[in-house]
Structure 1
């Protein structure tokens, strides 16, 4: 007869910096690849990340430095968007193209148009939509 093993279900204590600077730098490098695959130019990328164009250029050159919570949250949402696109679309190229395609869920605007609003909530809106589409909610 099988026995049940008790699993710890207590929530872990809150940590104010759940994403390390090293993880954020890795996510930034991944985001650069996403921007290239999505056909996003540097001005658009800077708007999505809510940083000055000069700051983005410095980061892109390899001097990422320390990112704040907002920047880390933006990068995390971009990684979530990428993951959801990989699940929803069997062909990567279709997922990359979807970013710029008009979408009725966004009032005929594209996901890129929504993300270019510049607010963290704009990225979250695209991510929530994709998570719902893939059955993650």
Structure 2
């Protein structure tokens, strides 16, 4: 009985996370291919994105949950570093000399999970963490 409650709670959390990440991707102005790259999905996986928009839960895999954690941390760092919403939400698609002229989205697309960590680490350091 307790297990059912815990599993249901996890399902609700992953559903909320799916909707939240899709909203964040909208705020960042990401295209389908960019969104799927950040989530580690196949580039043409529009089906998964449509399901997440509806509130279907994000996969319970370690990779998916860690990606979400890093993406939400990137968002938090950006909100703290750039209180102006326009600057905050545009940052992920702006070219950056730190990333050899690539945008943070391009870094994540090119380097995968390692790229996600590169972007997060850069922002953590910028905040002094």
Give yes or no for contact 1:21–1:66 (8 Å, CA) kept in 2.
Answer: no
| 2:110 matches 1:117 | yes
Q: Which protein has the bigger helix share?
A: 2
**Unpaired segments of 5 or more residues in structure 1?**
1-19
How far off is 1:122 after superposition?
Answer: 1.4
Number of residue pairs matched by the alignment: 117
Q: Deviations over 1:34-79 (max 9, x none)?
A: 1101110222211211124122322323322642110000000010
Using the size of structure 1 for normalisation, the TM-score is: 0.76
Structure with bigger gyration radius: 1
* Partner in structure 2 of residue 26 of structure 1: 16
How far off is 1:118 after superposition?
Answer: 6.2
C-alpha change, 1:65 and 1:97, in structure 2 (3 Å) is closer
Q: CA RMSD in A?
A: 1.7
Give yes or no for contact 1:48–1:117 (8 Å, CA) kept in 2.
Answer: no
Q: Deviations over 1:7-26 (max 9, x none)?
A: xxxxxxxxxxxxx4433332
* Partner in structure 2 of residue 68 of structure 1: 61
